[in-house]
Amino acid sequence: MSLVETCPAGSLRPAGPPGRPPVVPWLTGTLAVLVLGLYALGPAVGVPLLTEREAILAGELWRLLTGHLVHTDLGHLIPDLGVWLVFGALYETAPGRGRVGRLAVTVLVGALAVGLWLVACEPAIERYAGLSGLLNTVAAVGLIDLWRATGRPLFLVALISTGVKIAAELAIGGAVIDTAAWPAVPGAHLAGFAAGLALAAAWWKTTPRPAGAA
Amino acid sequence: MRMRTMTMIAAGALALGAWAGPVAAAGLLTPVGGGVPPLELKDHLVEVVVEDGYAVTIVEQRFHNPHPRDLEALYAFPVPEAAAVSEFTYWIDGRPVTGEVLPKQQARTVYEEEKAAGRATALTEQDGHRDFEIRVTPVRAGDEVRIRLGYIQPARLDTGVGRYVYPLAEGNVDEAANAFWHMNDQVTGRFRFALTLRLAAPVSAVRLPAHPDAEIRRRGDGWFTVTLGDPPTPNDDRPRDHADAALVPAALPAATRSPAPISGSPRRLDTDIVVYWRLAEGQPGQVELVTHKPDAEGEGTFMLVVTPGDDLAPIDRGTDWTFVLDRSGSMRDGKIAHLRDGVRQALARLGARDRVRLIAFNNAAQDLSGGLVPATPAVVRQLDALVGQIGADGGTNLYDGLRLAQEGTDADRTSAILLVTDGVANVGETEQRAFLDLVRQRDIRLFTFIMGNGANRPLLAALTEATNGHAVGVSTADDIVGVLLGALGKVGHQAFHDVALALDGIETFDVVPDPIGSIYRGEQLVVFGRYRGAGMADLTVRGRVSGRPVEYRTRFAVPATATRNPELERLWAFARVEAAMTEIHTFGETPDRRAAVEALAVAHGLVTPYTSMLVVEEDVFAERGLARTTAERVADEQAARAARAAGPVVAHRVDQAAPAFASAQPSYGGGAGAGGGNVGLLGLLASAALGWAGMRARRS
């Protein structure tokens, strides 16, 4: 008996029943280790990775993605990393095919959406760091996924609450409760959230439904 | 005999005037109605170099006596902020003789003895916080005398903007002195002000708000020259960096403004010269170290400048602003107009969540707004009209103004008192100790705008420090908008409090300031100290921001020897003197405290309220057994200045390899914002709850 089987797309995945999630959320863990490692290495390592407007416009495009991995202080790192571990692991370990791939796409699309928003729409923000804009993408995709998978209205309410929170942040021009040294950027949260809603809409038909749902 | 009699009369008149003290402005003084004819202020030539974190100012003057008898010259000028007078030279028989610092009474005695003996002598004294006085004798009939004075002061940046003030304006703070003295502030010969800026960081703009006729030339990214007045002549002693055009890269643009025409009319020394320079946007938060250590085995001196990154978040929950405005007679003329302009512009910038209160004081304090009121557009319009009507008269009951400001404050809201005053408390309570007791009664930050020259800076600085607030000097030649933006930016953002600094790896001692206190947005932390040893040092800057601890670290090398900046020893000593003087103002003068200041000032050649700089003929120094330590120090510093001027601009940043700050320095440009993706603890808790709910829902 072969330990691996070929999936339709031609890639390899662990043997087992179709749709069974991986036991270990390795993508979530890898990203968390990366974020922790960058923080532990100190601010000097993070400086060339920040989402820095002028540098991006000068061609340092990697900063669109890498700035999300850099955090300024523990008050910034701990909440962001905690939320990532919860939503990342929940999504990655959920039943269904291609969860790792979808999470990776979610992260990439969210990171790009936030980065491009900052460059295009936030000229006063010269540099940006942190996962939270991207976490709004993951949260939107994850909450819609949970709502669709379980049918529980709690997750729809949580999704709407996230939108309301972002609207409140936009209204007051900052975070409702701020724990980081750098001020929050509500526009980045909005861009991330909108990207998440767009992804969820694109994946609507392929999102699992609760048993018995029409 | 007649000449001697007249000199005696002049000296007697001057002595009579001593009770009144001088006036806080620049010029030659003669007693009003004293029968002493005025001297001419012939030349007034100022050279300033701002480099390596401090400014060196050299003022050369010639006094002319057009009268048929010998006279004594008395020249007074305001004490520049944090300035240590470090050089005083008097040309005797055409040869420059550099002064020596002695205890004040000893210097005065020697001066009087030399004057009585008819020998050439000169003296520079400090009169409290207000003036430096220069006495020169004899100014021979129909002849002139030449003197040179030098002082050094730290050149700090605030929110990316540097500021240098050459104080000249009338302080109006002492009515008795104003009534006694006639001040001749007209320069009949040449007047020139030249400032050279040599910074490692790129400078985007240089500005003199009150002197649009200044010529500003850009010679490099951080290298500018500013000139005002008459052009130099070949006979002038001038630093090489002004003359050496060959050092200027050819590709750089020419003058940004055409040279001003040479004025044929006398120039008055009645307006401060304020020079601003703004760094280019996006300069990194950084740590700079300047050292002086001539002997590898000996002790060295360091100046550590920490410019934090823009890590302080705005406070957007609304602030209670209490403006406490001095409308006493000493605020008349330019100062009261500047006050009105500044407060009106500040009112226009308040947010809808803010509350505001206006208190004005002269002989007594008065609440103009009727307590704290919401800063709605209608209220702001009403208050604006009230401010426009504020006039200046009466005495200065500063204590009553601060007492009233502390009443009715709300402990649950961010509160700030903005005190705008020239700080000469002369009605009601005037003891510094009582003021300190008052401001410590409530936890409210005091932000002080010290208006004009002659202000009681020691008192205002002590009050501000006691409340962890911030003090800023304001000249009538300042851009009031810029001053306000800086202050509002500080109150409107979080601040670093309880800041402490540790430098491990080398032995440091006699560090000032100690304790450090608070650092507001845009402020630099400048620390002076002494050290032994050399090698790698670990710097840790700790503090608290909104109650949570923050820490910045870096590692850099401390050199075993350094001789580029000998002035550091005097800057360090002056910082120690200032700290000691604060203690004296607060707790009173004791023989020990006075002796400590005297010893430090004499050892380092500094003019203080307790020490003066004396020039006598060269052989008289030897006859009187006066050591020439200050002269040697001045010679070392002059040689170092010449070497610096001939060499390239040097960067002192030491944390490039391990940056202490991730973000850029704050600036006024609006483009230096930094943002953090931050979901907050609330987001974390909500996510944890949702995660738990999601897991349960899946299992069921």
Q: What is the CA radius of gyration of chain A?
A: 18
Burial letters B166-188, b for 16+ CB under 10 A, else e: bbbbbbbbbeebbebbbbbbbbb
Q: What are phi and psi of B685, to 5 degrees?
A: -65, -45
Read off φ and ψ for residue B240, nearest 5 degrees.
-65, -30
Would the pLDDT of B2 be above 80? no
B377-425: per-residue pLDDT in tens? 778 888 888 888 888 888 889 999 999 988 877 777 778 888 888 877 7
Instruction: Write the CB contacts of B162 (distance below 8 Å, at least 6 apart in sequence).
Output: B50, B155, B156, B197, B199, B276, B277, B278, B279
pLDDT of B181 reads 54
Give the residues across from B492 on adjacent strands: none
Give me the phi and psi of A60, to 5 degrees please: -85, 75
Q: Establish if B348 touches chain A: CB-CB under 8 angstroms.
A: no
Closest by alpha carbon to B340, among B385, B375, B401, B372? B385
Between B672 and B648, the more confident residue is B648
> What pLDDT, on a 0 to 100 scale, did the predictor assign at position A124?
64
Over residues B71-94, the pLDDT tens digits come to 888 888 777 888 888 899 999 998
Q: What average pLDDT does the structure give for chain B?
A: 82
- Counting every residue written for chain B, the total comes to 700
| pLDDT exceeds 70 at position A70 | yes
The whole-angstrom separation of Cα A66 and Cα A68 is 5
Tokens 């003019």, residue located: B607
Does the bond joining B37 to the residue before it have cis omega, within 30 degrees of 0? no
* Residues in a beta bridge with B557: B536
Determine the distance in angstroms separating the CA of A142 from the nearest CA of chain B, rounded to an integer: 10
pLDDT digits (tens, 9 = 90+) for A93-138: 888 778 899 999 999 999 999 999 988 988 767 678 889 899 999 9
Structural tokens at position B408: 């009715």
Asked if A46's CB is within 8 angstroms of B680's CB, the reply is no
pLDDT in tens, A15-52: 344 455 556 899 999 999 999 998 888 655 777 788 88
pLDDT band at B681 (very low <50, low <70, confident <90, very high): low
Phi, psi (degrees; rounded to nearest 5) at A29: -65, -40
CB A128 within 8 A of CB B677: yes
State residue B21's pLDDT score: 44
Provide the pairing of β-strand B319-326 with B355-361.
parallel
Cβ contact A146–B694 (<8 Å): yes
- Count CB neighbours of B232 within 10 A: 17
> What interface predicted TM-score (ipTM) does this complex get?
0.74
Find the closest chain B residue to A156 by CA distance: B690
Residue B667 forms part of a structural domain: no
Q: Return the bridge partners of B449, or none.
A: B420, B472
Q: What is the mean pLDDT of residues A178-199?
A: 80
pLDDT value for A2: 33
CATH of the domain at A42: 1.20.1540.10
Q: Contact, A184 vs A132, CB < 8 A?
A: yes
User: How much is the average pLDDT of B597-621?
Assistant: 95
Q: Is A120 helix (H, G, I), strand (E, B) or coil?
A: helix
Quote the number of domains for chain A.
Answer: 1
**Which of A44, A128, A176 is opposite residue B680, by nearest beta carbon?**
A176
DSSP B162-175: EEEEE--S-----H
* Region B209-221 average pLDDT: 86
Tell if the CB–CB gap between B691 and A86 is shorter than 8 Å. Answer: yes
To the nearest 10°, report the CA torsion of B3, B6, B7, B11. Answer: 170
Q: Partners of B44 in the beta sheet?
A: B61, B191
Determine the distance in angstroms separating the CA of A179 from the nearest CA of chain B, rounded to an integer: 6
Residue A176 is nearest to which of B658, B670, B682, comparing CB atoms? B682
pLDDT of residue A60: 87
Note whether B508 and B529 are within 8 A (CB): yes
Q: How many CA atoms lie within 13 A of B593 on its CB side?
A: 14
Closest Cβ opposite residue B313 in set A47, A123, A183: A183
CB contact under 8 A, A181 and B683: no
What is d(CA B124, CA B411) in angstroms, rounded to the nearest whole number?
A: 49
Q: Given CA atoms B430, B432, B438, B439 in this order, what sign does their dihedral have?
A: positive
Q: Identify which of A80, A82, A181 has the shortest CB distance to residue B677.
A: A80
CB of A158 within 8 Å of a chain B CB? The answer is yes
pLDDT at B476: 78
| Residue B435 domain-assigned (yes or no) | yes
State how far the Cα of A86 lies from the Cα of A158, in Å rounded to an integer: 14
Q: Is B123 part of a structural domain of the chain?
A: no
Give me the percent of chain B exceeding a pLDDT of 70.
84
CA distance A44 to chain B (A): 5
Q: DSSP character for B32?
A: T
Both tokens assigned to B314: 């705005």
Only one residue has tokens 């360090």, namely B572
- Minimal C-alpha gap between B50 and chain A (Å): 29
**What pLDDT is attached to residue B20?**
39
Using the beta-carbon criterion (under 8 Å), do A72 and B663 form an inter-chain contact?
yes
The three-state (H, E, C) secondary structure of B605-634, written as one string = CCCECCEEEEEECHHHHHHCCCCCHHHHHH
B314 pLDDT band, cuts 50/70/90, is confident
Neighboring chain B residues of A179 at a CB cutoff of 8 Å: 548, 678, 680-681
Q: Which of B240-249, B282-291, B625-634 has the lowest mean pLDDT?
A: B240-249
**In 3D, which of B532, B483, B622, B459 has the Cα closest to residue B97?**
B622
* Peptide bond just before B515 cis, omega within 30 deg: yes
Residues 189-208 of chain A with CB under 8 A from chain B are: 189
Yes or no: say if B579 and B311 are a contact pair by the CB < 8 Å rule.
no
* Structural domain of B330: 319-491
Does B553 touch chain A if contact means CB atoms closer than 8 Å? Answer: yes
Say whether pLDDT at B542 is over 50. Answer: yes
* Per-residue model confidence (pLDDT) at position B614: 96
Of B206, B232, B230, nearest in space to B218 by CA: B206
Question: What is the average pLDDT value for chain A, to the nearest integer?
Answer: 79
CB atoms within 10 A of CB A65: 17
Q: Do A150 and B697 touch (CB under 8 A)?
A: yes
Please tell me the distance in Å from B221's CA to the nearest CA on chain A: 19
Indicate yes or no: CB of B664 within 8 angstroms of CB of A127: yes
Residue A90: closest C-alpha in chain B: B691
Q: Band the pLDDT of A213: cuts 50, 70, 90.
A: very low
Task: Tell me how far apart the alpha carbons of residues B397 and B392 are, in angstroms, rounded to a whole number.
Answer: 13
Q: Which of B311, B544, B678, B687 should be substituted to probe chain A, the one whose Cβ sees the most A Cβ atoms within 10 Å?
A: B678
Q: Identify the domain containing residue A179 by its residue range.
A: 24-206
How far, in Å, CA of B608 to CA of B594, rounded? 11
Sequence-distant (≥ 6) Cβ neighbours of residue B299 within 8 angstroms: B293, B530, B531, B532
pLDDT value, residue B247? 28
CA distance B362 to chain A (A): 40
Task: Please check the confidence at residue B674 and state whether its pLDDT lies above 50.
Answer: yes
- The mean per-residue pLDDT over the stretch B549-563 comes to 92
Q: How many domains does chain B have?
A: 1
Within 307-346 of B, beta carbons closer than 8 Å to A belong to 310-314, 316
- Asked if the model's pLDDT at residue B460 lies above 90, the reply is no
With a CB-CB cutoff of 8 Å, which residues 132-151 of chain A face chain B?
132-135, 139, 143, 146, 149-150
**Tens of pLDDT, residues B29-63:** 565 455 667 788 888 899 999 999 999 999 998 98
Decide if pLDDT at B490 tops 50. yes
What Rg value do the Cα atoms of chain B yield, rounded? 27
Query: Which has the closest alpha carbon to B496: B650, B666, B358?
Result: B666
**Mean pLDDT of the B204-216 span:** 85
- Partner A contacted by B262 (CB < 8 A): no
What pLDDT is attached to residue B265? 55
Please state, in angstroms and rounded to a whole number, the distance separating the CA atoms of residues A149 and B678. Answer: 28
Q: How confident is the model at residue A183 (pLDDT cuts 50, 70, 90)?
A: low
| Dihedral angle over CA of B582, B585, B589, B595, nearest 10 | 30
Q: In degrees to the nearest 10, what's the CA dihedral of A43, A44, A45, A50?
A: 70
- CA-CA distances (angstroms) from residue B44 to A16, B243, B257, B263, B465? 93, 19, 23, 14, 36
- The average pLDDT across B518-545 equals 92
CA atoms B119, B124, B125, B130: torsion sign? positive
Q: B622 and B91 in contact (C-beta within 8 Å)?
A: no
Neighbours of B502 (CB within 10 A): 12
The CATH number given to whatever domain includes residue B474 is 3.40.50.410
Q: A88 touching B, CB under 8 A?
A: no
Backbone φ and ψ for A21, nearest 5 degrees, come out as: -75, 155
Lowest mean pLDDT among B232-236, B385-389, B454-458, B543-547: B232-236
pLDDT at residue B629 above 70? yes
Higher pLDDT, A208 or B365: B365
Q: Which residue is closest to A68 within chain B, CA to CA?
A: B677
pLDDT of residue B393: 83
Banded pLDDT at A192 (limits 50, 70, 90) = very high
Interchain contact, B677 vs A154, CB within 8 Å: no
Would you place residue B679 in the very low, low, confident or very high pLDDT band (cuts 50, 70, 90)? low
Q: Is residue B190 part of a domain?
A: no
H helices within B549-590, ranges in order?
Answer: 567-587
